[in-house]
Chains A and B, each alone.
Chain A
């Protein structure tokens, strides 16, 4: 298949699946089966796209035959295809958990179409080639996530949903206003065209104020401290099957937008607007997130604070803005999405087995279900960054980048926050898995769930063992951001005189 049809398959399979589920809200099995097939197709297309773009190529679809920058474009390059593949993988795993673990409160209310539409929105956000459509795709994925959140029961669920909805809408408004201002100043919203215009004009006045608005919008979505406090008050309320998907996808879409817009569109030569601010906030986020986790007593809450801390790592990689740092950041994104989703899925296993994931109530799982302990240990050690797992190489590359940039404080933070992460993981391990008296109010989780979680753990181990080729992919993706000549040619046409020649 051509890359263009693969892109359409990847994007549209979840959408068509959602349409096929919607008329039959009562038929759970049908919806689950359709959702699985749609996501599997989308995952396969995404993996094929990774193979097609692994040499640094970029492909574009011009909707309706309108040439850029006038029409709507969908673009895929190495970075976008990598993110697509990882995210679809996580959605497939969460779907299996959602179908097997969620009570009927969730499954009878259009759960599967909503998950599919959430995936549709994230895929669209990765593939879109202009700023306004990025806003539209954000709204698509936000509305599905709002509807998923709104199923949460009880007073706590409602107030968590409300916080999540309002803060995300504020972020959307910032985004919308920024898009309007950028169009007013440059006359274009297409990423490729916008980048060329900014390079031609080379005037900070054009971009800095609007970039500040976008910084706020993406900062809320990516959960950078001080814009992150909505996250620990809403994510822990979600059942693990859903929080795995939220944790894997939503904040990472915000980070992707940071990388794409600040790292590519606004970037010129050696930097981008508000880079020092991003560097500072990244460090605060890393340290603040991990310190926030220390005081928590439930697995869900500890893991939620670790999302924030890890977002700091990936923002730090962007703020350093060297080829090595960007490659490390992209590698980190891919590794982190899988590992974090898997940790939430294992939390789901613990809850099925022990009836709760509150550390005060769970004890001695190591003895009663050693396999769950193994499944927890792999992603937990990977998150903390122990060799030979994927997290080690992500942290190692980032540490090397900080040292090469001569930023000793950042290097110390990378190591120190890693140590504190181990501390948190050990806290879970000591409380839930060790201890003598076995508290088992639940039942052993189904085989299919264990296999799903084991498959994600295996991916983590494989990324660690085959680190060379995977890191090579991340380097290609980083090169696509730093020198998007292929991106420009795909969007604006090969031989367009405005595209600067390669140095």
Chain B
């Protein structure tokens, strides 16, 4: 699981950098998008990757041991929202500067 996520992050960032140096502005937007997904996955992975644990637990703290840290998931949500806003801005910028 860790290896898969690590390879995915590497692939996303490599592809993002490659598109970023592409010839058109749309290339650059796609590159930035891929880079931001790579960064988001990095944050997501920093909380630890566990599976087969229950989603809801009662008040027993000993059951917390097998669970991932939820904070990075909150952080990544914020980062996704910001990334989405920026994507909208970039696309508007391209639309406005293209000849009508």
Contacts and interface: CB of A to CB of B under 8 A. Distances in A.
Interface of A: 132, 135-136, 139, 143, 146-147, 150, 158, 161-162, 165-166, 169-170, 173, 176-177, 179-181, 183-185, 187
Contacts of A181: 42, 46
Interface string B15-39: 0000010000100100010011011
B82 A169 contact: no
A contact patch SS? helix
Contacts of B90: 165, 169
Contact of A183 (B25, B35, B72, B96): B72
B97 interface: yes
A165 B82 contact: no
A177 B89 contact: no
Of A150, A161, A173, A187, most buried by chain B (CB within 10 Å of CB) is: A173
Contacts of A150: 93, 96
Q: Which of under 10, 10 to 19, 20 to 34, or 35 or more describes the interface residues of B?
A: 20 to 34
Given A166-B28, A176-B40, A143 B97 contact: no
B contact patch SS? helix
A187 B70 CA distance: 11
Contacts of B20: 166, 170
B86 A132 contact: no
A131 to B, nearest CB: 10
Contacts of A169: 32, 36, 86, 90
B11 interface: no
A266 B82 CA distance: 27
A176 B43 contact: yes
B93 A177 contact: no
A181 B93 CA distance: 32
15 contacts: A147-B89, A158-B97, A165-B90, A165-B93, A166-B20, A169-B36, A173-B32, A173-B38, A179-B43, A180-B43, A180-B45, A180-B75, A183-B72, A183-B75, A187-B69
B89 A143 contact: yes
Nearest to A175: B39
A176 B28 contact: no
Given A169-B32, A180-B72, A183-B71, 15 more contacts: A136-B82, A139-B82, A165-B89, A165-B93, A166-B32, A177-B39, A177-B42, A179-B75, A180-B39, A180-B43, A180-B44, A180-B45, A180-B46, A180-B75, A183-B47
Of B20, B40, B42, most buried by chain A (CB within 10 Å of CB) is: B42
A173 B31 CA distance: 11
Nearest to B42: A180
Contacts of B97: 158, 162
Contacts of B43: 176-177, 179-180, 183
